[in-house]
A and B are shown apart, each in its own frame.
Chain A
Amino acid sequence: MNIMETRKNEPVRIGFYVCHCGVNIAHMVDVEAVAKYVATLPNVVVSRNYKYMCSDPGQEMIQKDIREQRLNRVVVAACSPLLHEHTFRGATEAGGLNPFYFQMVNIREHNSWVHTDRLEATRKAMALARAAIQRVPHHKPLEVKKVPINPDVLIVGGGIAGIHAAITMANAGKKVYLVEKEPSIGGHMAMFDKTFPTLDCAMCVLSPKMATVGSHPNITLWTYSEVVKVDGYVGNFKVTVRRKPRYIIEDLCTGCQECVANCVYKEPKFPDAFNLGLGKRKPVYMPFAQAIPSIAIIDPEVCLNFKRGKNPDGSYTVSDKCKKLCVVACGDRKAIDFSQKAEDKEITVGTIIMATGFKTFDPRRTPYYGYGVYPNVYTALELERVINASGPTEGHLVMRNGKEPKRVAIVHCVGSRDENTNRWCSRVCCLYSLKLAHLILEHTDAEVYNFYIDMRTPGKSMEEFYNRVAEEGMHLVRGRVADVYPDPNDTASGRLIVQAEDTLTNRILKIPVDMVVLSVGLEPRPEAEDLRRLFNLSCSSEGWFLERHPKLAPVSTFTDGIFLAGCCQGPKDIPDSVAQAGAAAAEAFSLIDKGYVEQEPNTAFVLAEECSGCKSCIPLCPYTAISFNEETKKAFINEALCKGCGTCVAACPSGSIVQNLFEDQEIFSEIDGVLAPLPQ
Chain B
Amino acid sequence: MSDSTNKTPDGNWTPRIVAFFCNWCTYTAADLAGVSRMKYASNIRVIRLMCSGRVDPQFVVDAFAKGADGVLIGGCHPNDCHYVEGNYKCLRRYQMLKRMIADMGIEPDRLRLEWISAAEGEKVRRVVNEMVETVKQLGPLGIPAKFEQWDKEMNALAEHVAASQGAGAPGSSGQNKPQTAQTAHV
Q: Which residues on A are within 8 Å of B, measured CB to CB?
A: 80-83, 106, 108-111, 113-117, 119-121, 123-124, 127-128, 131, 533, 536, 538-541, 546, 550, 558-559, 602, 620, 622-623, 643-647, 649-651, 659, 662, 664, 667-668, 670-672, 674-675, 677, 680
Contacts and interface: CB of A to CB of B under 8 A. Distances in A.
Interface stretch (B48-56, B98-106, B149-157): B48-56
B160 interface: no
Interface stretch (B83-91, B167-175, B176-184): B83-91
A109 B34 contact: yes
A106 B80 contact: no
A538 B117 contact: yes
Nearest to B144: A675
Contacts of B14: 120
A110 B62 contact: no
Given A114-B33, A538-B117, A546-B118, A671 B18 contact: yes
Given A643-B83, A647-B83, A674-B45, A558 B34 contact: no
B27 A82 contact: yes
B82 interface: yes
A622 B86 CA distance: 8
Interface in B30-71: 30-31, 33-35, 37-40, 42, 45-51, 53-59, 62-63, 66-68
B35 A113 contact: yes
Given A650-B93, A671-B18, 14 more contacts: A82-B27, A108-B34, A110-B31, A114-B42, A123-B42, A131-B47, A533-B79, A550-B35, A558-B82, A558-B118, A645-B83, A645-B86, A647-B89, A649-B56
A616 to B, nearest CB: 11
Most chain A beta-carbon neighbours within 10 Å: one of B18, B27, B54: B54
Nearest to B123: A541
B47 A674 contact: yes
Contacts of B93: 650
Nearest to B1: A677
Nearest to A550: B35
Interface in B12-30: 14, 16, 18, 23-25, 27-28, 30
A622 B85 contact: yes
26 contacts: A80-B34, A82-B28, A106-B46, A109-B30, A114-B40, A114-B125, A533-B79, A536-B82, A538-B25, A538-B28, A538-B117, A538-B118, A541-B119, A643-B83, A645-B83, A646-B54, A647-B51, A649-B54, A650-B54, A662-B49, A667-B49, A668-B62, A671-B18, A672-B66, A674-B45, A674-B47
Contact of A620 (B33, B39, B62, B89): B89
A536 B93 CA distance: 24
A109 B31 contact: yes
Contact of A120 (B37, B42, B79, B120): B42
B59 to A, nearest CB: 6
Interface of B: 1, 4, 6-9, 14, 16, 18, 23-25, 27-28, 30-31, 33-35, 37-40, 42, 45-51, 53-59, 62-63, 66-68, 79-80, 82-86, 89, 93, 117-120, 122, 125
B39 A116 contact: yes
A604 B49 CA distance: 13
A646 B59 contact: no
Contact of B37 (A110, A114, A559, A622): A114
Most chain B beta-carbon neighbours within 10 Å: one of A620, A643, A646, A650: A650
B66 A675 contact: yes
B70 to A, nearest CB: 12
Contact of B120 (A115, A119, A541): A541
Contacts of A110: 30-31, 34, 46
Closest 3 CB pairs of A and B: A109-B34, A646-B54, A647-B53
A131 B50 contact: no
Contacts of B84: 622
Given A109-B31, A124-B42, A677-B1, A645 B54 contact: yes
Nearest to B57: A650
Contacts of A106: 31, 46
B86 to A, nearest CB: 5
A313 B4 CA distance: 64
B54 A662 contact: yes
Nearest to B48: A81
B45 A119 contact: no
Contacts of A623: 83
Nearest to A542: B119
A37 B128 CA distance: 27
A671 B89 contact: no
A662 B50 contact: yes
Most chain B beta-carbon neighbours within 10 Å: one of A119, A538, A558, A623: A538
A114 B63 contact: no
Most chain A beta-carbon neighbours within 10 Å: one of B33, B45, B56: B45
Given A647-B83, A671-B63, A680 B42 contact: no
Contacts of A622: 83-86
Contact of A677 (B4, B31, B34, B68): B4
A121 B1 contact: no
